[in-house]
Amino acid sequence: MTILLYQTDSYLRTFDATITKLAQDDQGIILDQTMFYPGGGGQPSDSGKITIENKDYTVKHARKQGLNVIHVLSDNVPYLDVNIPIKGEIDWERRYQLMRTHTAMHILCGVIFRDYGASVTGGSMDPLKGRMDFEFETMHKDLVQTIEAEVNLEVINARPVKVAVLPREEAFQIPDLIRTKINLLPEGIKQVRVVEIEGLDLQADGGTHVNNTSEVGQIRIVDYKSKGKINKRIYIKLDE
Ligand SMILES: [Zn+2]
């Protein structure tokens, strides 16, 4: 099982770890702990490098396999024993852009639910851009401009973003979490990680976020599209 260091501190860039297993078939290394986000919840995985015995290896991406994170290297994995210590470093520029983008998406969710009662049905992101689908009947230019203004007001409001891990029973008591379909969580999951934008949004979420909405910077809604009678897609972009 890989300990997910980014779940408790998303601002760490480097870390020490030990190799626990090699996945030779796809040039992957499994570590006892990691800062590499393995992708999920619409957020793509981190990239970066791992240093093993003074040699750097590029980590193309990481992915989850059961309770482990496989770090997929661009070079052939050298012959290694388990228990070898390594140093890891994520591509911080990319990761920080993804943290800002992910929090921007939650601001958008929070504003649209608060002001229009519309739930999110899906979404995905890349560094500095994302798209989200909402249960919305009609979307038009004036409405988009209003939403954009409200979203940027929440950036200016500098709301703290807090992460907590709660026992399943406790999380299930929170009405805001129930609307984000927390009841779909598999039975086996005993703890729920929740990400809260204070006073605006609360979600069960495994991703990495900034500590304050002010770090997101200006959010532009660059496009919108109808994806069905009750499904509207909104596209956002952030500044560099
Ligand atoms: Zn999220």
Residue 80 reports pLDDT greater than 80? no
The Å distance, Cα 28 to ligand 1 centre, comes to: 26
Q: Could you list which residues have their CB under 5 Å from ion ligand 1?
A: 41, 205, 207
- State residue 173's pLDDT score: 85
Q: Which of 27, 35, 13, 21 is nearest to 84 (CA)?
A: 21
In the predicted model, what is the mean pLDDT of the chain? 92
The Å distance, Cα 56 to ligand 1 centre, comes to: 32
**Each residue of 23-43: pLDDT tens digit?**
866 678 999 999 999 999 899
Residue 46 reports pLDDT greater than 80? yes
- State residue 178's pLDDT score: 66
The Å distance, Cα 112 to ligand 1 centre, comes to: 15
Q: What is the DSSP letter of 37?
A: -
SS (H, E, C) 42-68: CECCCCEEEEECCEEEEEEEEEEECCE
Question: Once rounded to an integer, what is the mean pLDDT over residues 195-223?
Answer: 96
Predicted confidence band of residue 181 (pLDDT cuts 50, 70, 90): low
The Å distance, Cα 157 to ligand 1 centre, comes to: 20
Is 34 in contact with 88 (CB distance < 8 Å)?
yes
Residue with the bigger pLDDT between 176 and 232: it is 232
Residue 235 reports pLDDT greater than 90? yes
